Amino acid sequence: MRSARVAPPVRSWLGWILVPLLAFLALGSWALSSPVGATPDEDYHLTSIWCGLGEREPFCEPGDTSIEKSVPATVLQASLCFAFRSDASAACQTGMYDDESSPLVSTERGNFQGDYPPGFYFASGLLASEGSYAASVVMMRLMNAAIFVIMLSVAARLLPRELRFPLIGSVLGASVPLVVFLVPSINPTSWAITSAATLWITLLGAARATTARQRWSLMAVAIVAAVLGVSSRGDSAAFVAIGAFVAVLLHWKWTERPFVSLLLPGVAAVAGFLGFLGSSQTDSVSEGLPGAGGEPLPPSVLLGSNFIEMPGLYLGALGGDEIGWGDTPLPSTVLFASFAVVVALAVVGAGALWRRKVAAIAVVLVLLIALPMVIFYSSNATVGNLVQPRYMLPLMIVLIGLLLLPPPGGLRPTRVLAISAALMLSSAQSIALHTNLRRYVTGLDAVGWNLDIDAEWWWPIAVSPNGVWIIGSLCFGAVAVVLAYLASERRLTEAPRRRPADDPSARPLAPVTP
């Protein structure tokens, strides 16, 4: 007797549950791939989190001076024994978290002067527990991974189907290695990435919604995305304003409730702009970043050199730069595969251009070049110093999403291209995850595919380092291939046919004739 076939609605709901679950497991593997203190400036973020709810025993107490706080020594010193030492594993942390308490030490390294918005640290501080320092950090990482997966899943479910490819394609395209490394971390950039990926496109989706329920639901997601952005970093608040402006530029019309349609994007833009002005990162643009040093370079040399070398900043976000504390170089295969996928997506997106899409791409592209150039100039620094690729990663995701924005008829890659890109990206992710695990399990002086051999450090859990690598590789690969297949399905990516007059802002550009 034949088994009953699963009805299409059931298959659909299985997909909406299974794919996010696999994505969360993939990010969870990255959350376990490094010890406490492994992400950039994590000592700063750890102390800020432990003081995120204000002074309270035994998490955060007054320090020796007015600009200091006293925090557990374990929190502050977690990365001292392995940071900047690629061949040193995290075995030096053995026994560090065995004691239920840790002596308090006074430090000024933390968000005690309001350099960053307090929201991220407050939310993470809710998970801080006395004694269970390592477990608390893992829970915070998993919380941020869950926020990312939930926001993208809800946004994709609510968006008009022709806008799902830009959302998922932009995140997947830029995912290796920094997205998968930073999202499941306690770095505020995690929320900045989530916000940038979802804000502009949910605002655009709300403007294109066909029902009031869809419109209000997408507006609610956009509000959450804006709150995440404004609550994480000063530059992320600026990206909130940019995302809102891009959404307005793409869809706003004088003839359709012009001022009502500007309300939510306008509030988001103002909130983002004020959030940026209220952060210390405003000074980074006008006065530069501290730490450049050296003899002042002539303006022509500084501007010319940085303009020529600017691509290196963005290649760094795709694997050309070290991760962690700048002490974990990745194999060149990671950069090659990630860059090839981004180029393929750009070629697909370039097949559908119209005036507003070109204008939005131009705005973001100019900002991607101008913002670092201004900071480099005011800091007397060159590409490769001070400004890190992760700072501009959220804006890179927006640019890729804009490139993939479809015309009314929809936009989809060929199945061969989509599956090939997914396989390349999955391979790059697997190599990057293995390298990051190797860095902390044994140090990079060891070689071999089996991470369990001669392991020097690992969490006290049942799954081995090799098991985490295999789970993370398979889950990410499954998500990438499934989403690539769906992106190549006409019925799942293209909008219902509509007359061109229904959306004049999305009319393709007329071909240029000689």
Structure tokens at 372: 């670092």
Query: Per-domain residue ranges for the chain?
Result: 25-80+96-496
Structure tokens at 446: 């060891």
pLDDT of res. 53: 96
The whole-model pTM stands at 0.92
- Whether the per-residue pLDDT at 210 is higher than 70: the answer is yes
Of 99, 95, 84, which is closest to residue 37 (Cα–Cα)? 84
Quick check: 437 and 31 in contact, CB under 8 A?
Answer: no
pLDDT of res. 255: 54
Determine what percent of the chain is predicted with pLDDT higher than 90: 69
> Is the bond preceding residue 177 a cis peptide, omega within 30 degrees?
yes
- Whether the per-residue pLDDT at 492 is higher than 90: the answer is no
In terms of C-beta distances under 8 Å and separation of at least 24 residues, what long-range contacts does 339-345 make, across chains too? 339/315, 340/421, 340/424, 341/172, 341/173, 341/421, 341/424, 341/425, 342/173, 342/174, 342/318, 342/400, 344/413, 344/417, 344/421, 345/169, 345/170, 345/173, 345/400, 345/403, 345/404, 345/413, 345/421
Kindly report the backbone phi and psi dihedral angles of residue 62, in degrees, each rounded to the nearest multiple of 5, phi listed first. Answer: -55, 145
pLDDT of res. 321: 94
State how far the Cα of 457 lies from the Cα of 161, in Å rounded to an integer: 45
Side chain identity at 79, as an amino acid letter?
A: S
- Whether the per-residue pLDDT at 63 is higher than 50: the answer is yes
Kindly report the backbone phi and psi dihedral angles of residue 382, in degrees, each rounded to the nearest multiple of 5, phi listed first. Answer: -120, 165
Task: Tally Cβ neighbours within 10 Å of residue 385.
Answer: 15
Of 206, 230, 231, 200, which is closest to residue 220 (Cα–Cα)? 206
Dihedral of alpha carbons 305, 307, 311, 312, sign: positive
The helix or strand, by DSSP H or E, that contains position 157, with its residue range, turns out to be helix 133-158
Give per-residue pLDDT as tens, 254-267. Answer: 556 666 678 888 88
Residue whose structure tokens are 């979802």 = 198
Q: What is the DSSP string of 291-339?
A: T--SSPPPHHHHHHHHHHHHHHHHHIIIIIS-BTTTTB---HHHHHHHH
pLDDT of res. 497: 53
Confidence band for 298, pLDDT divided at 50, 70 and 90: confident
Least confident window among 5-9, 171-175, 341-345, 416-420: 5-9
- Whether the per-residue pLDDT at 428 is higher than 70: the answer is yes
Torsion of CA 378, 382, 387, 393, to 10 degrees: 120
